[in-house]
Amino acid sequence: MSRTPVLVTGSAGFIGFHVARRLLEQGRKVIGIDNLNQFYDEGLKEARLQLLKAQPGFEFVKMDIADLNAMEALFGKYELETIIHLAAQAGVRYSLENPHLYVQSNVVGFVNLLEAAYKRKAQHFVFASSSSVYGSNKKIPFSETDNVDHPVSLYAATKKSDELIAHVYAHLYGLPVTGLRFFTVYGPWGRPDMAMFKFCKSILEETPIEVYNHGKMLRDFTYVDDVVEGVIRTADSPPKIQPGATNEGSSSQYKIYNIGNNQPVELTRLIEVLEQKIGKKALIKWLPMQPGDVPTTYADIDALSEATGYRPHTPIELGVSRFVDWYLEHYHVAKTARSVQAQR
């Protein structure tokens, strides 16, 4: 990765914050951008941002990636050779309610970034895709060579669109591009709309947890520190041109990788681990499958491991323990809620 500033989009978001912080800890300069939207608790984004601003080498620009003029001005001001694009409108279910917002952020904003990156001759463009592109794929574990032409949510469709558009820029303009299909990332500073956060909050407050598909769900929960390691290893390793080789049918400087834990966990097991850590039993409301949701996610990570040495090492018990500790401290929950069974 170049020693010029690294652009991290979505730097006040969950994964973006952790990636930016790790880069700063490594002594690299980071330009962070975020529009600080109110999809979830705005205070959480502000708190993450304040931690980043306290570190030397970080500069923040508040902007929307869908604003073409702002994007052109940004790339005109800074020399940006490495782009780690993590900004997006997230959430599978919300995409069914507000489709235009997803198209603006995840497609229009994505093209704005690609245009700026290739015109300024960026050395590597890394972007966040999603495990949701696999839809209701029955073959497990999910492999990058699987067909992903049948998304079951608009969010997934925008992410698949990003992968296709990115390939065009790699093919036509020689822009080195890598897409990462994230699998259920969790950990401290996580999003309030995700299961880990919602379940923890409900158990502590003794309110019912809504568990879909009557608990018959498997998720490849991936601890955020492992994800950050994979993102930075990837950013440091731009794809090479390999004539005749194929990655989703491409011989351009273009790669798609899964980035997961490779160990799916049943939702009921997740709840058990949270109960043990918190020291309270969950109240559960069993519900049917929700539109746009899928029963299983399970990542084949061999390709990323071979290319970068990535290998996750955080078991769900340790990851949950760290998340709950953060939650109790950040939200000032009484320490008596801690369980003696907690693993550190």
How confident is residue 92, by pLDDT bands cut at 50, 70 and 90? low
pLDDT tens figures, 294-337: 888 999 999 999 999 999 999 999 999 999 999 999 999 975 44
Class of domain 6-183+222-259: alpha beta
Per-state percent for the chain, helix, strand, coil, to nearest 5: 40, 15, 40
The whole-chain average pLDDT of the chain stands at: 91
Average pLDDT value for residue range 209-231: 93
Average pLDDT value for residue range 83-107: 82
pLDDT score of 16? 98
Which residues are part of the catalytic machinery? 155
Does this model's pTM top 0.85? My answer is yes
Which residue type, as a one-letter code, is found at position 75?
Answer: F
CA distance 112 to 117: 9
**CATH for 195-218+262-298+313-337, options being 3.90.25.10, 3.30.590.10, 3.30.2350.10, 3.30.470.10:** 3.90.25.10
Compute CA distances 152 → 53, 93, 149, whole Å.
Answer: 38, 11, 10
The domain segmentation of the chain, as residue ranges, is 6-183+222-259, 195-218+262-298+313-337
Do the Cβ atoms of 199 and 276 come closer than 8 Å? no
Do the Cβ atoms of 148 and 281 come closer than 8 Å? no
**DSSP of 36-88:** ---SS-HHHHHHHHHHHHTSTTEEEEE--TT-HHHHHHHHHHS---EEEE---
Among the listed ranges 19-28, 35-44, 130-139, 331-340, which one has the minimum average pLDDT value?
331-340
Do the Cβ atoms of 248 and 287 come closer than 8 Å? no
pLDDT above 90 covers a percentage of the chain that reads: 76
How confident is residue 214, by pLDDT bands cut at 50, 70 and 90? confident
